[in-house]
């Protein structure tokens, strides 16, 4: 699939990758990707409110990914390109998703991570459609079986892996 401004988008993805490799963001990503394991809304709120390195790491990582997602929401980056190149964002979102609504309420931050949430929700909808499509009965008309198998394989290949990139 060709996209408008594909080269510009690729350049932006590479710049975003370079930013992820910077020392401070790498340390923050190490913390959020590993040790950071909120167990409740109150735990999540406490970790952010307490300040210090853990709070900074959490805000830096989620702020970074929300910025990347905002590029998608506002059309600077293609949603499928982010899905293919930024699996870590989806993994990190999974860690806080159960607590996000309560966090927003307790912190009085109704817009916190709205872009990230929208992009992840869009990807989840596509995965659901893909899963439904792969479970649907195959068409039996001449040539349509082969076409649906190819389409099913392509949709299944679009499903993200459990780990981050």
Each residue of 21-42: pLDDT tens digit? Answer: 999 999 999 999 999 999 999 9
Task: Give the pLDDT band of residue 13 (cuts 50, 70, 90).
Answer: very high
Residue 92 vs residue 147, higher pLDDT? 92
Q: Tens of pLDDT along 102-119?
A: 999 999 999 999 999 999
Rounded alpha-carbon distances, angstroms, from residue 26 to 110, 126, 161: 28, 30, 21
**Spans of all domains in the chain:** 6-157
First to last CA, the chain: 22
DSSP states of 45-73: HHHHHT-HHHHHHHHHHHHHHHHHHHHHH
Q: Look at residue 131 in the predicted model and tell me its pLDDT.
A: 75
Looking up tokens 């912190």 gives 107
How do residues 115-153 score in pLDDT, each as one tens digit? 999 999 998 887 777 777 776 555 444 444 444 444 444
Whether the pLDDT of residue 90 is over 80: the answer is yes
Closest CA to 29 of 80, 72, 65: 65
Mean pLDDT of the chain: 84
């Amino acid at each position: 699939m060709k996209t408008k401004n594909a080269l510009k988008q690729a350049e932006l993805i590479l710049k975003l990758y370079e930013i992820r490799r910077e020392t401070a963001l790498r340390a923050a990503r190490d913390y959020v990707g590993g040790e950071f394991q909120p167990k409740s809304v109150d735990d999540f709120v406490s970790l952010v409110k307490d300040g210090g390195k853990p709070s900074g790491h959490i805000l830096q990582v989620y702020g970074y990914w929300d910025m990347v997602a905002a590029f998608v929401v506002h059309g600077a980056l293609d949603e499928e390109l982010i899905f293919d190149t930024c699996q870590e964002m989806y993994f990190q979102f999974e860690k806080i998703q159960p607590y996000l609504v309560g966090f927003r309420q307790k912190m009085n931050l109704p817009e916190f991570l709205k872009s990230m949430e929208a992009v992840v929700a869009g990807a989840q909808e596509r995965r659901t459609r893909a899963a439904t499509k792969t479970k649907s009965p195959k068409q039996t008309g001449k040539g349509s079986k082969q076409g649906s198998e190819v389409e099913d394989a392509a949709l299944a290949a679009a499903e993200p892996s459990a780990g981050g990139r």
